[in-house]
Structure 1
Amino acid sequence: MMNVPLNISSMMERAEKYFPKKEVVTRTPAGNKRHTYREIAQRTRRLSSALQKLGVEQGDRVGTFAWNSNRHLEAYFGIPGIGAVLHTINIRLAPEHISYIVNHAEDKVLLIDSDLLPLVERVKDSFKTVQAYVVMTDGELPETSLSPVYSYEELLAEGDPEFEFVKDIDENSPAGICYTSATTGNPKGVVYSHRGIFLHSMALGMADTGGLSESDRCMAVVPMFHANAWGMPFIATWLGSTQVMPGAQFTPKVLAELIESEKITVTAGVPTIWLGLLKELETGEYDTSSLRAVLCGGSAAPPSMIKAFEVKYGIPFLHAYGMTETSPLVSVSRLKSYETDLPEEEKLSIRAKQGLVVPGLEVKIVGKDGEVKMDGEEMGELLIRGPWIASEYYNDERSKDAFYDGWLHTGDVATMDEEGVIKLVDRTKDLIKSGGEWISSVDLENGIMAHEAVFEAAVIAIPHQEWQERPLACVVLHDQFKDKVSKDDIMDFLRPQFAKWWLPDDVVFLDEIPKTSVGKFLKRALRDQLKEHYQIQ
């Protein structure tokens, strides 16, 4: 067999050669902007050329601080196209975490959407390796304290549209890096190789997974700064699928309008997005008949939501599972051919699980006595391995806690039934997953207990109709502060410490927090104690 390297730039070259007329559509305040793949490829080549002129070399990291747009898509290919590493930065992280990951990744250049400049300006003085800032804007450069600063479009105008992507890149070399949402401590970096992204894209395109094709009109609602937008920009470009980018600050109404006007066939996002879309569909008249699949991941989708999409609106719903560490696709919940005639409730029960592992990966579920039975009852930790699964965290000693014996130890507790269907039932740590992002209860507890009035604090997850889970703070005050400290006092104390979306939805004052026999907080008892007050009806 020929030893041909699996290289990301070949995906863009294929789109340029065979699908030059197909479009990438970006929603902007001035209306939808349209570029053909021929134009996108030329702009990508210009970007690669411009980055080299700025001094970016093979192995250097280039950060992106941006929404879903054609420019971000160009960066997806233009940065790896010169052998550099695409670092997609989560714009929702707390400032100290943004500073940490830029420095930890040693980013050399940052590409920034103009409306996000203030977030970067707040922490620019802490950056140790950034040598240039590139602002992605249509107009003139806005005033900024960043320096040196360049206009993305002006750099592209001076770039070479015939630039040749670097070919002698080892397929196992880094193409991208994404950091986790910092469940405890600082975020952890996950490096994606050219080979891993290439194979993950092939898996996502399979008929029994995403089933994408040239005829699809794809809209990745999941952010391009989060786990490579689940790989959709790569596979859609490779296949020549039309791509629709929702841009900045979209709403459920905007998504519904884009689905109708752009005739979207496949879209992907976390459950909170689809809960919002369901509410919008109930209030307006929208034509969603073009949709053949809504791909949902990030956290478990409520069966009632799946049922609403499929029964009320006739929109097929694909429930998937993955992690930043897994590129992210691991499993997709689809009915087997002999299950299509089952009663509706049985089919819904299957679709609400995390599904079958995709071809190319191996999984096993391990309990205290070894691998569990495939009976849907016995529980254990989910372990994964395969060619697009990370083998370690980037320059991080915490790797040993998750990667050993040749497997990724996910920290998710799961079962597997006789059909091989995975179901997540719990987590090994008390993490809160809000809108597809992790929140650390321990970090919040430590933050609360730093308040002089607080004796004890425990943070638990409560159900939320929009975000699936939100943190609830349970606080015991020192005797001398009882009835003298309010919820607002606690929240005001936390605001400078955490990102806005980390802040608890509520603070409940208790006389005591239930504990285990060894003195640990008994959070299960807390949830039971408070569930009547915070339960989704």
Structure 2
Amino acid sequence: MQQLRQTLGAMQDWKLRVTHLIDHAAREHGSREIVSRWADGSETRTDWAGVRHDALRMTQALRRLGIKPGDRIATLAMNHHRHLVSWYGAVGVGGILHTVNPRLFDDQLEFIVNHAEDRVMLFDKLWAPIIERMKPRWPTVEHYICYDSSEPALHFEEWIGAEDGIAEWHDGDERDPCMLCYTSGTTGNPKGVLYEHRSTMLHALSAISPPVFGMDCRSVMLPIVPMFHAASWGLPWAGAAAGAKFVYSAVNDGAVLCDLMNREKVTCSAGVPTVWLALLQHVDTHNGSEIPPSLQTIVCGGSAMPRAMIERFMRAGLRVAHAWGMTETSPIGTTGAETANWNELTFDEQVTVKAMQGRPPFGVEIRCVDLGDPEKVLPRDGVTSGALQVRGPWIVKRYFKADADAVVAGQWFDTGDVGLIHPDGTLQLTDRTKDVIKSGGEWISSVELENAAVGHPAVAEAAAIGVYHPKWDERPLLVVVTKPDQQVSQAELKAWLAQHVAKWWVPDAVAFVDQIPHTGTGKISKKDLREQFREYVWDQVA
């Protein structure tokens, strides 16, 4: 084969390693700004050329510490340019970047850092109490470096300040690992997902395409999604490929975000629904406020954006897109791109499309299989729901340090989601396999119940769980948090739901609570809710 290539011609062996991303950004878009807004209100400005120079200095500093290719370098930090530098500095030495979620419980923090065998921990002063508390429980961590203070550890700027940045990136294979992210561990210990240079590069190239984030050098991206959560949806890599301007904030307050968006002319942003709710609340409660006029695109993930919120943003002229994915998918699986017949749809039809999870970009394949017979592939008819499976070059094959692959025949990975696929390839999620409610032999979607409930003007948050029922095996119990100064009765809410879901789906009861438990990644914790209502008894059995 090599002789044939030499005879007929050949393409260059240009390895797909993520250090090419920062090289490109610095060379072609070196003066494009990276803005960091800190918790105290101060701001720092640098650019892609500066990020590359600092990343090279960090690479030198890590080598001075004896860090070798394959070693894990952890970060415990919010969104800012020094954290971004660390992404490239860690992989530049041949290391594996491990972003740690500070919202996890101590036992989970102990498990993932020890399981990863991290040697270096870089952190924000904000999380110093966690560092001091966990140090005795992290025996593998040899070095602690603080991003924004000289107490209680060496300051990041002093650490890399001793280096000149005249260095080379580590050269290796494109299938070498470059990043380690752990799942939230809602059903046991978190699992590590090891991203490769090749998979990450392919993901980045897909992420900048129009159906996903649609970024180029004109884009001004404010990534509200934390850099410690699912690789910040791949944005630190994709942004370098695009040469986009980044605006980071350590605070996700609605007023702060609006101010940054207005001053920095932010064109696109990505975050979970609660962030967009906070932004809209700020707009509504301040006279003269409006959705920042420069904003063009909003990408929402983590959980579904309520239909009313989608409508409001779309009426303001914004492009709204759901992004579905998980740590195991690097994380982009599908995004809510416009369909081929978009211009022919009514506004309500367009909102319906945007309320779904969208279609997979090139590089991801999806299918649904029967919940009771995983060998049976279901039709793409927009009606038949089943277990969602995915495969592709940036989808997990085996978890970090696992003894066996995490995929079934054909390299299909079972996502744990329940959904249906429409004839045009649009994915519509209806539940999680462990959260779907089976009542009288029929399936009830907890997600659709929750979406219908939060459509009520008095409801701030809702969660539906299945509770044992002596006649129907399970019936849905709706747990609700109302908005401040708002009230709604159980009867009123059930009547509202009867207008939006099948009558037999309407919960037999509604439980009003002050708050709903969440996981370390901000998602509703159905596991904790089921435990909380484990002894629930129906008032009457009908």
Q: What is the TM-score normalised by the length of structure 1?
A: 0.80
Tell me what 1:11 maps to: 21
Choose the corresponding residue for 1:406, options 408, 411, 431: 411
**Residue pairs, 1:23-34, within 5 angstroms:** 23-28=33-38, 29-34=40-45
Tell me what 1:177 maps to: 180
> Deviation string for 1:92-144 (max 9, x for gaps)?
0001101110000000000011111101211111112111111111x5x22x4
Choose the corresponding residue for 1:277, options 279, 285, 306: 279
| Inter-partner Cα distance in structure 2 for 1:33 and 1:262 | 13
> Deviation string for 1:383-414 (max 9, x for gaps)?
111111111111135x6565554111001011
The question of whether the paired residues in 2 share the 8 Å contact of 1:355 and 1:421 is answered with yes
Q: Mean Cα displacement is larger for which, 13-22 or 196-205?
A: 13-22
> Deviation string for 1:446-473 (max 9, x for gaps)?
xxxxxxxxxxxx997745579xxxxxxx
| Inter-partner Cα distance in structure 2 for 1:388 and 1:200 | 6
Tell me what 2:61 maps to: 50
Choose the corresponding residue for 1:264, options 263, 266, 277: 266
Letter in 1 for 2:81: N
Tell me what 2:361 maps to: 358
> Deviation string for 1:289-333 (max 9, x for gaps)?
11110011111221111111111x322211111111001111111
| Inter-partner Cα distance in structure 1 for 2:319 and 2:244 | 19
**Residue pairs, 1:379-398, within 5 angstroms:** 379-396=385-402
SS in 1 for 2:146: strand
The question of whether the paired residues in 1 share the 8 Å contact of 2:184 and 2:520 is answered with no
Q: Mean Cα displacement is larger for which, 35-44 or 172-181?
A: 35-44
Tell me what 1:371 maps to: 377
Is the counterpart of residue 423 in structure 1 residue 423 in structure 2?
no
| Inter-partner Cα distance in structure 2 for 1:334 and 1:463 | 32
CA root-mean-square deviation: 3.3
Tell me what 2:439 maps to: none
The question of whether the paired residues in 2 share the 8 Å contact of 1:94 and 1:499 is answered with no
Distance 1:17 1:51, change over 3 A: same
Letter in 1 for 2:196: S
Q: Mean Cα displacement is larger for which, 425-434 or 155-164?
A: 425-434
The question of whether the paired residues in 1 share the 8 Å contact of 2:103 and 2:520 is answered with no
| Inter-partner Cα distance in structure 2 for 1:188 and 1:308 | 38
| Inter-partner Cα distance in structure 1 for 2:522 and 2:335 | 32
Identical residues among aligned pairs (%): 33
SS in 2 for 1:337: coil
SS in 1 for 2:169: coil
Distance 1:230 1:50, change over 3 A: same
Tell me what 1:470 maps to: none
SS in 1 for 2:424: coil
Tell me what 2:230 maps to: 227
Report the CA distance between 1:512 and its aligned residue.
4.9
> Deviation string for 1:132-183 (max 9, x for gaps)?
111111x5x22x4xxxx422111111023222111x2111111000111111
Q: Mean Cα displacement is larger for which, 270-279 or 71-80?
A: 270-279
| Inter-partner Cα distance in structure 1 for 2:55 and 2:166 | 10
SS in 1 for 2:318: coil
Letter in 1 for 2:106: P
The question of whether the paired residues in 2 share the 8 Å contact of 1:260 and 1:286 is answered with no
SS in 2 for 1:165: coil
The question of whether the paired residues in 2 share the 8 Å contact of 1:392 and 1:403 is answered with no
Letter in 1 for 2:114: N
SS in 2 for 1:79: helix
Letter in 1 for 2:160: L
Q: Mean Cα displacement is larger for which, 504-513 or 318-327?
A: 504-513
Letter in 1 for 2:392: G
> Deviation string for 1:230-289 (max 9, x for gaps)?
011111122211000112x33111111111111101100111111221211212314511
Tell me what 1:481 maps to: none
The question of whether the paired residues in 2 share the 8 Å contact of 1:110 and 1:134 is answered with yes
Gap regions ≥5 residues in structure 2:
1-10, 437-445, 451-462, 468-474, 484-511
The question of whether the paired residues in 1 share the 8 Å contact of 2:124 and 2:146 is answered with yes
Choose the corresponding residue for 2:326, options 311, 320, 323: 323
Aligned length: 463
Letter in 2 for 1:103: N
Tell me what 1:255 maps to: 257
The question of whether the paired residues in 2 share the 8 Å contact of 1:69 and 1:246 is answered with yes
SS in 1 for 2:79: coil
Is the counterpart of residue 84 in structure 1 residue 95 in structure 2?
yes
Is the counterpart of residue 304 in structure 1 residue 315 in structure 2?
no
> Deviation string for 1:398-457 (max 9, x for gaps)?
x656555411100101101111111001111139999xxxxx999xx9xxxxxxxxxxxx
SS in 2 for 1:258: helix
Letter in 2 for 1:76: W
Letter in 1 for 2:420: T
Letter in 2 for 1:389: I
Letter in 2 for 1:256: C
Letter in 1 for 2:173: D
Q: What is the TM-score normalised by the length of structure 2?
A: 0.79
Is the counterpart of residue 340 in structure 1 residue 343 in structure 2?
yes
Is the counterpart of residue 64 in structure 1 residue 75 in structure 2?
yes
Distance 1:169 1:278, change over 3 A: same
Tell me what 1:289 maps to: 293
**Residue pairs, 1:127-276, within 5 angstroms:** 127-137=138-148, 139=149, 141-142=150-151, 144=152, 149-166=153-170, 168-247=171-250, 249-276=251-278
SS in 1 for 2:46: strand
Gap regions ≥5 residues in structure 1:
435-439, 446-457, 467-486, 515-524, 530-537
Report the CA distance between 1:379 and its aligned residue.
0.9
| Inter-partner Cα distance in structure 2 for 1:407 and 1:253 | 44
The question of whether the paired residues in 2 share the 8 Å contact of 1:391 and 1:403 is answered with no
Tell me what 1:517 maps to: none
| Inter-partner Cα distance in structure 2 for 1:459 and 1:5 | 52
Distance 1:428 1:509, change over 3 A: closer
| Inter-partner Cα distance in structure 2 for 1:509 and 1:178 | 32
Letter in 2 for 1:164: E
Distance 1:40 1:461, change over 3 A: farther
SS in 2 for 1:51: helix
The question of whether the paired residues in 1 share the 8 Å contact of 2:418 and 2:430 is answered with yes
Tell me what 1:519 maps to: none
Letter in 2 for 1:302: P
SS in 1 for 2:338: coil
Distance 1:128 1:511, change over 3 A: closer
